[in-house]
A and B are shown apart, each in its own frame.
Chain A
Amino acid sequence: METRPTIIPPGVKRCSKMQFSLWMAAATAVLLWGVYAMYLCWYKGLNQTNMNDAYGFALWIWADLAVIALGGGAFFTGFLTYILGKDKLKNIINYAVIIGFICYSSALLILAIDIGQPLRGWFIFWHANEHSMLTEVAFCLSCYFGVLTIEFLPNIFENPKLDKIPFLHHLAHNMHSIMAVFAATGVFLSFFHQGSLGGVSGVLYGRPFSFREGINVWPWTFFLFTWSAAACGPCFTILVTWITEKLTRKKLVKDDVIQLLAKISGWMLATYMIAKIADTIYWAMVTAPNMGFSFMEFYSNNPVYGLWILILEIVICGILPAAILITRKGRENKSLLLLAVILAVVGVSVNRWVMVLQTLAVPVVPFESWFMYSPSWQEVATTILPVAYGVIVISLAHRYLPVFPQERELNPTN
């Protein structure tokens, strides 16, 4: 280990150039594999996927919904820090923003691969149908990505080299002083696009598995998606922080910061689970039967989707992590805390999976059968691509930017 005071923030330890280069090379190799698959999809078309006319939405849309939910840590931590004044969270907000930035840029990239005519992607803005949930998603998601970029920039400008440029130094300072405005804008936008993503499947009244009643034009899934993103997004921030600490072999954020975020997440998750269970019961008892479907029809006569997936989502990855996180003993036990945040992350991902994939798997026309799907390697590679991209961005950010304000205090060099 050696210290690089020139471009690396002062007073922190970083690994050697060689070690860093090898790490980055490995991540870049995975990234290039994904880029090649992306090239194939763009050059040869979506026939490179295993999607079909029954599965117009598949792995990519799930990945989009999942990363946006997991990136929800940025808006909700921003909301807690800047709007509710939880100052303690300033010690993790930079990282939450970076994770959010990675998640949202990944979502935009995946969408660019997913559409059949990528060069016409701008039609969604130019010929916008204001009745479509996807239009609202596109507008809010793009705007919020802009907000995340603005939130990320001051941290980049704080790199010791860049900080020496007076303009960037002052710009970063001034941006910090008005960051609450951007955080509030981000929260506003996030409430809408997280909700709209829930609306994407919730409004499908031709799909009894995902259709939900609601208030005015907003189905219940609109609110449930926002709620679950606010609950599980911070869990993902905690999880990625834990992974970063393990890989860098040092403490980066004090326990009381993590504990506060975990506690708030826990209560959000607990209240979300109450709402989710109520929604599921109403759907099973009223909505679906009115459409001619019994509850068990959605969970039988197929090789994959059984009751296990509902139990996994609600009990194992919902009630259990909520119970751990809302109790002091639970969240102060490091193993239990880690288990809880992993379960919460898996839970919200399972929720997004069923709302996309199981929705399309269920036969609606009575004389059709269940539709099964497994992704092609091109779909898998392009879905792993953002993970490699995220690893690269986080590695660069951690090495060259003062991401964690408590790092020096927690890891004194002398």
Chain B
Amino acid sequence: MKEQHGYTSTKRYGMVIDLDKCTGCGACMVACYAENNVPFKENETHKLDSLNWIRIFQLDNGKPYPDTEVCYLPMPCQHCDGIGKHGHSPCVSVCPAVATDYDYNTGVVSQIPVRCFGCRYCMAACPYHARKFNWWDPVWPADTEKYLNPDVSARMRGVVEKCTFCFQRYQQARNKAYMEGRDEIHESEYQTACAEACPTNAIIFGDLHNPDHEVAKLKDSPRAFRLLERLHTNPKVYYLSSKSWVRRAGDNYLENESKPQSGRQKIHHK
């Protein structure tokens, strides 16, 4: 996946999630399950062995009523560029069998389930818990197998899976552009299932390198922050919030730290 294609410039696909707009409805999760053939258990109460490529956290400001404020935070894989911004993502660098890879053409951190042998080192490496292990073989309720997405392989027991930014949609969009003799794909041609499903347009997806794409503008918003920036994972998922307590909840600070340290200043990728 590291070869360079002559007909397209390097992309850096990313996501901006506006937490001021997110209602925590879960449509993004449902769309993701359907698009990516994510299996589910009969009993989903134990979330730590559930398969979900995007989860929604409920945060609050810790204050009692009537000052309580709540925020919903959807968390897919952060598709980290990693230290040095050249694909040294926490998970990619540790996978012993190259079952997860950084695509230099798109910035997407891929997962290759048929290559994965289930050592779970990537899960130990990921601070976001974005990686999920197939503890069971998938069981599809009656007839639902007929509704699986033919563009996405279902995974088997014993391998790790995670959000791929619906990479199959990128491949389809690229094929379409190629057939129509175009070098570039339009912003609307490659959208993730969660971004499409979000009823409040809280999830925006696009090329962070392309100044015409909405995400490229939004990521520079004063409301923008990323999760755990101090770890230098360099995620490509940005969050927007007008509330300072939400922005502060995105990272760890020492008790006496009132302002982000200099090392936490946003790094803009060119």
Contact B94 A56 (CB under 8 A): no
Tell me whether A158 is interfacial, beta carbon within 8 Å: no
Contact A47 B117 (CB under 8 A): no
Contact A207 B230 (CB under 8 A): no
Q: A45-B136, A45-B137, A56-B123 are in contact. Are A366 and B252 (CB under 8 A)?
A: yes
Contact B119 A207 (CB under 8 A): no
Q: Across the interface, which residues of B come within 8 angstroms of A38, CB to CB?
A: none
Whole-angstrom distance between the Cβ of A105 and the nearest chain B Cβ: 19
B residues touching A (Cβ–Cβ < 8 Å)?
46, 48-50, 57, 59, 73, 83, 90, 93-99, 115-121, 123-129, 131-137, 156-160, 227-228, 230-233, 249-255, 257, 261, 263
Mask: chain A, 21-56; 1 = CB below 8 Å from B; 0 = not: 000000000000000000000000111000111111
Tell me whether A249 is interfacial, beta carbon within 8 Å: no
Closest partner residue, chain B, to A126 (CB atom):
B97
Contact A367 B57 (CB under 8 A): yes
- Contacting B117 at CB < 8 Å: which of A54, A116, A133, A290? A116
Contact B48 A206 (CB under 8 A): no
Contact B252 A292 (CB under 8 A): yes
- Contacting B115 at CB < 8 Å: which of A116, A127, A131, A206? A127
Contact B249 A366 (CB under 8 A): yes
Tell me whether A149 is interfacial, beta carbon within 8 Å: no
Closest partner residue, chain B, to A138 (CB atom):
B96
- Contacting B96 at CB < 8 Å: which of A135, A365, A368? A135
Contact B254 A294 (CB under 8 A): yes
* CB-CB contacts below 8 Å: A103-156 with B: 114-118, 120-121, 123-124, 126-129, 131-135, 138
Chain B interface mostly helix, strand, loop or mixed?
Answer: loop
Tell me whether A188 is interfacial, beta carbon within 8 Å: no
For chain A, the count of residues having a C-beta within 8 Å of the partner chain is 51
Contact A132 B131 (CB under 8 A): no
Contact A117 B159 (CB under 8 A): yes
Closest partner residue, chain A, to B88 (CB atom):
A131
Tell me whether A289 is interfacial, beta carbon within 8 Å: yes
Mask: chain A, 213-224; 1 = CB below 8 Å from B; 0 = not: 000000000000
Whole-angstrom distance between the Cβ of A19 and the nearest chain B Cβ: 43
Task: State A288–B67 Cα separation when bound (angstroms).
Answer: 33
Task: State A53–B156 Cα separation when bound (angstroms).
Answer: 16
Q: Which 9 A-B pairs have the closest CB atoms?
A: A116-B118, A116-B158, A292-B252, A56-B120, A56-B123, A206-B127, A120-B117, A52-B48, A134-B96
Contact B230 A205 (CB under 8 A): no
Contact A56 B124 (CB under 8 A): yes
Contact A291 B119 (CB under 8 A): no
Tell me whether A204 is interfacial, beta carbon within 8 Å: yes
Q: A123-B115, A124-B117 are in contact. Are A367 and B231 (CB under 8 A)?
A: no
Q: A53-B48, A204-B90 are in contact. Are A290 and B116 (CB under 8 A)?
A: no
Contact A123 B97 (CB under 8 A): yes
Q: Across the interface, which residues of B come within 8 angstroms of A132, CB to CB?
A: 93-96, 121
Contact A131 B93 (CB under 8 A): yes
Q: A54-B129, A116-B117, A124-B117 are in contact. Are A205 and B90 (CB under 8 A)?
A: yes
Tell me whether A200 is interfacial, beta carbon within 8 Å: yes
Contact A294 B135 (CB under 8 A): no
- Contacting B120 at CB < 8 Å: which of A57, A121, A364? A57
Closest partner residue, chain A, to B156 (CB atom):
A117
Q: Across the interface, which residues of A come within 8 angstroms of B254, CB to CB?
A: 289, 292-294
A residues touching B (Cβ–Cβ < 8 Å)?
45-47, 51-57, 114-118, 120-121, 123-124, 126-129, 131-135, 138, 200-201, 203-208, 289-294, 359-360, 364-368, 371
Q: Across the interface, which residues of A come within 8 angstroms of B158, CB to CB?
A: 45-46, 115-117
Whole-angstrom distance between the Cβ of B1 and the nearest chain A Cβ: 13
Chain A interface mostly helix, strand, loop or mixed?
Answer: loop
Task: State A53–B73 Cα separation when bound (angstroms).
Answer: 19
Task: State A132–B227 Cα separation when bound (angstroms).
Answer: 25
Whole-angstrom distance between the Cβ of A363 and the nearest chain B Cβ: 9
Contact A117 B116 (CB under 8 A): yes
Closest partner residue, chain B, to A211 (CB atom):
B231
Q: Across the interface, which residues of B come within 8 angstroms of A292, CB to CB?
A: 230, 251-254, 257
Whole-angstrom distance between the Cβ of A48 and the nearest chain B Cβ: 9
Whole-angstrom distance between the Cβ of B73 and the nearest chain A Cβ: 8
- Contacting A116 at CB < 8 Å: which of B159, B257, B261? B159
Q: A116-B133, A291-B252 are in contact. Are A121 and B57 (CB under 8 A)?
A: no
Closest partner residue, chain A, to B246 (CB atom):
A367
- CB<8 Å pairs between A and B, sample of 8: A56-B121, A116-B134, A120-B118, A205-B83, A205-B233, A290-B263, A292-B252, A292-B253
Give the one of B57, B97, B126, B128 with max A CB within 10 A. Answer: B97
Closest partner residue, chain A, to B257 (CB atom):
A292
Q: Across the interface, which residues of A come within 8 angstroms of B137, CB to CB?
A: 45
Q: A47-B136, A53-B49 are in contact. Are A117 and B117 (CB under 8 A)?
A: yes
Contact A116 B120 (CB under 8 A): yes
Closest partner residue, chain A, to B50 (CB atom):
A53
Whole-angstrom distance between the Cβ of B115 and the nearest chain A Cβ: 6
Q: Across the interface, which residues of B come within 8 angstroms of A124, CB to CB?
A: 96-97, 117, 119
Contact B252 A134 (CB under 8 A): no
Contact A127 B98 (CB under 8 A): yes
Supply 4 further A-B pairs (C-beta < 8 A) apart from A126-B97, A131-B93, A134-B94: A45-B157, A120-B117, A127-B97, A360-B124
Contact B230 A115 (CB under 8 A): no
